[in-house]
Structure formats: C-alpha cells, structure tokens
Amino acid sequence: MLAKNLKVPASTFDKVPKRAPYIFQTGLPGDLKLEQHQAAQVTGVAPRSFAFSTSQMKSNKVTPGGEVKIVDSKNFPVTPIATAIVKLKPGGLRELHWHPNADEWQYYISGKGRMGVFAVGTRTRTMAFQAGDVGYVLQSHPHYIENTGDTDLVLLEMFASDHYEDISLAEWMSHTPHQLIDQHPHVSRKMIDAIPKTRW
C-alpha cells in the first residue's frame, strides 16, 4: 500500500524496522535554511508558526523574589496548553495560589525548592524538589513554592488549558469583604486592609 501510495517499488520499504525505534542515535541535522526551503516547496510555508522562543520574550511579571514567563493561546495561538516558566531567587516565594481551570504539572529545571499543597480541611503535604523532579497539583488546590537553595530555582508549569489562570490567596482576601474574612481567622481588619490589592 505504501509503495502504491508513494509510487515507488515495494522493495523501498524492505529495511523499515518492525518496531518503532522511538529513541535512537543518528547524525546531526542539516542546514536549517535548506530544510525549511525543502519543506516549503510547492505548498509554501505553514501559515502559523509551531515554534515559540521563550528566550526572546520579556517576563510577564518581575518582583524582587523572581519572575515568570507565561505562554498560552494568547501569545502562541497554535497551542491548546498553557505553560509558565517560573524563576525564584534564593529565598524567593511563589505566593500561595491556586489554578481554577486545570491541574498543574511541574518539571524542576534547576535549583532546590519546597512546595506545600493544601487540600480539604487540614490536609497538607510539603515536599522537597530539585532539578529533574516532577510535581503535580490538583485543580483548585492552594499551593506555594519556595526556593530553599542558594541558586535560582527554575521550574516549568504545564496546564491542560489554552489559557493560564491563577488566583493568589492575598488577591482573593483583598477583594472579599474584609468583615467577612475577619469573622473566620480573626487576624484583625487592620491586617486584612493592608493586603495589597494587586499581585505581589
């Protein structure tokens, strides 16, 4: 069928592996411009790019504790997923927050850190992470990430959603009626009134 479909002799496929090699050793790729030219012959270049250079983008948020770059369908329209590249300086904290639209998958690229996750009631778990580790947080579960090392902590967050969305505890508290908030933890209206109305 392949030979007929591609109009070549059937013997062309005699050396095709019986099982997919999946990961294997091979030579280095050729010249990129030549490969792009070959791919664009007759039909032209694909109308949308399937590459996104995060190294060329500015951070979405920069604070004294670190920075984040967010890539989702707003700036990379071909993707149905959202991602954030988080960099925390030593001692930096990714504030307590949750994601209302998707579970969070994490890959720790460099550094050392700690993550605390809160579930229903008083159920919590705190875990240590380092380069090469993977983390996971269920949708809408509050969590924080803290750099516990002496170098930058860099991690990749992935979401099965076409847009990035999060809510910080401070943001939620500052925009909820302060009397209502104070009736539960009894931390004082003065403390609640002092919470910044914008992202830390």
**Could you tell me if 111 and 152 are in contact, meaning their C-beta atoms sit under 8 angstroms apart?**
yes
CA–CA separation, 60 and 38 (whole Å):
36
For residue 98, the cross-strand partners are 167
Residue 50 neighbours by CB distance under 10 Å: 8
**In this structure, what is the dihedral angle of CA atoms 181, 186, 187, 192, given to the nearest 10 degrees?**
20
- Work out whether strand 82-88 and strand 104-110 pair parallel, antiparallel, or are unpaired: unpaired
Give how far the C-alpha of residue 77 lies from the chain's centroid of Cα atoms, to the nearest Å. Answer: 16
**Could you tell me if 106 and 157 are in contact, meaning their C-beta atoms sit under 8 angstroms apart?**
yes
Q: C-alpha distances in angstroms, 23 versus 14, 30, 184?
A: 21, 19, 55
Whether 157 is a known active-site residue: answer: yes
Choice among 67, 95, 104, 157 that is catalytic: 157
Which positions are annotated as active-site residues?
Answer: 157
